[in-house]
Amino acid sequence: MTDLVERAQWIAENVFLPDAKEVDVRGVIPPSHFRVLAREGFYGIAAPDAGVGFEGIVTVIETLAGGCLPTTFTWLQHHAAVLGVAKTTNESLRARHYEDLVAGRKTSGVASAGALADPPRLRATKADGGWIFDGDAPFVSGWGIVDLMQVVANAGETVVSALIEAKDIPATRYNLIAVDASETVRLTFDNVFISDAVIMSETPAEQFREVQQLGYRLNGAVPTGLAVRCARILESLGRTASAEAIDAEVSSVRSTLDEGMADPQALFDARAAAASLAYRAAGAVFVAEGADSMLAGGQGERLVREALFTMVTGSRAPMKNALLDILAP
């Protein structure tokens, strides 16, 4: 794991960070970012036989997020398909995609928010030879970047996951205030037939929700990664005490996130604490930079916006309520 983390640190410092400002301003991720991740084996770290381990994956996400959040967030979505295809009983689907997904020759995004919404926004109805998907999937990242899309729809007692060609579904692009380069869209399904040939799984709805705990914890590595980056910037500005305080709080939040894996509400509380920490750390950078922070394109204002992004992305009502209790008690 040490070698993997060292490679992630090199990529974050030497590839991602030098481009962070331009990625934010232009709203485009250089393809070279994804090529280096593929070349260094980072598209396969979630594969069951990769031997990385959960702690290693969390550390890699945190490290890369501190370099370029749009790239990291887009890449992060890929691992849902790797895990899904690794475990699927659809042998043909695995034969077509698994090795390419692990190697990064094919990349994937994930669209699950429509199935998780209450009430569901994307529904699946059984049909001859497949399923009918109807509704929409909001906030899907990687559109026009990834090759495949794992789309999840609610079928009542079960949740249906399909791995489809990304270009096949109509999309409406959002204009985001941060991480806009992630090419985030809303997908629209108007009674779309999805063949059994691309169905990855049919999972009991309650079991699917339990599995989401894993994703919530992984998402928690994004704000802690931003907070660590803020600490290093504060250090470079001579604010050593502030940097040390943030580092200490990051360590505490990491432990709380890990402990929350066994308790859904505790994990939402921990995610809220992580996002709040990122926001305060970015605010500290903004203040430490002084008047220069008011100029568009500065790292302080970018980090503040990215911290705001972590407050709402991948969140659910319990996390929102926990954050509001922190921000406006």
Task: Give yes or no: residues 265 and 213 share one domain.
Answer: yes
Question: Which residue, 102, 120, 150, sits at the end of a domain?
Answer: 102
Task: Give yes or no: residues 213 and 315 share one domain.
Answer: yes
pTM for the full model?
A: 0.95
CATH, residue 67: 1.10.540.10
What is the model's pLDDT at position 76? 97
What is the model's pLDDT at position 1? 62
What is the model's pLDDT at position 262? 87
CA distance 265 to 68: 29
Residues in the chain, overall count: 329
What is the model's pLDDT at position 234? 97
Task: Give yes or no: residues 35 and 141 share one domain.
Answer: no
DSSP 8-state symbol, 42: G
What is the tens place of the pLDDT at every residue in 93-116? 999 999 999 999 999 999 999 998
Decide if 67 contacts 17 (C-beta within 8 A): yes
Domains contained in the chain, number: 3
Q: Which burial class, exposed, middle or buried, applies to 204 when counting CB atoms under 10 A from its CB (0-12, 13-18, 19+)? A: exposed
Task: Give yes or no: residues 116 and 225 share one domain.
Answer: no
Task: Give yes or no: residues 252 and 308 share one domain.
Answer: yes
What is the model's pLDDT at position 166? 83
* Residue 321, domain extent: 206-327
What is the tens place of the pLDDT at every residue in 162-188? 999 988 788 999 999 999 999 999 999
Question: Which residue, 204, 222, 247, sits at the end of a domain?
Answer: 204
Task: Give yes or no: residues 213 and 269 share one domain.
Answer: yes
Task: Give yes or no: residues 200 and 212 share one domain.
Answer: no
What is the model's pLDDT at position 291? 85
Task: Give yes or no: residues 167 and 214 share one domain.
Answer: no
Instruction: Please state whether beta strands 171-173 and 185-195 pair in parallel, antiparallel, or not at all (unpaired).
Output: antiparallel
Tokens representing 255 are: 């432990």
CATH, residue 185: 2.40.110.10
Task: Give yes or no: residues 86 and 31 share one domain.
Answer: yes
Task: Give yes or no: residues 136 and 71 share one domain.
Answer: no
Tokens representing 224 are: 């802690």
Task: Give yes or no: residues 310 and 200 share one domain.
Answer: no
Name residue 123's beta-bridge partners: 134, 154
Task: Give yes or no: residues 266 and 157 share one domain.
Answer: no
Q: Which burial class, exposed, middle or buried, applies to 247 when counting CB atoms under 10 A from its CB (0-12, 13-18, 19+)? A: middle
What is the model's pLDDT at position 206? 87
Question: Which residue, 157, 187, 204, sits at the end of a domain?
Answer: 204
Taking only the tens of pLDDT, the chain with its 329 residues reads 679 999 999 999 999 999 999 999 999 999 999 999 999 999 999 999 998 999 999 999 999 999 999 999 999 999 999 999 999 999 999 999 999 999 999 999 999 999 988 899 999 999 999 999 999 999 999 999 999 999 999 999 999 999 999 887 889 999 999 999 999 999 999 999 999 999 999 999 888 888 888 889 999 999 999 999 999 999 999 999 999 999 999 999 999 999 998 898 999 999 999 999 999 999 999 999 998 888 888 889 999 999 999 999 878 888 999 999 999 98
What is the model's pLDDT at position 314? 78
Instruction: Please state whether beta strands 158-165 and 199-204 pair in parallel, antiparallel, or not at all (unpaired).
Output: antiparallel
What is the model's pLDDT at position 63? 98
Closest CA to 107 of 146, 153, 77, 142: 146
CATH, residue 230: 1.20.140.10
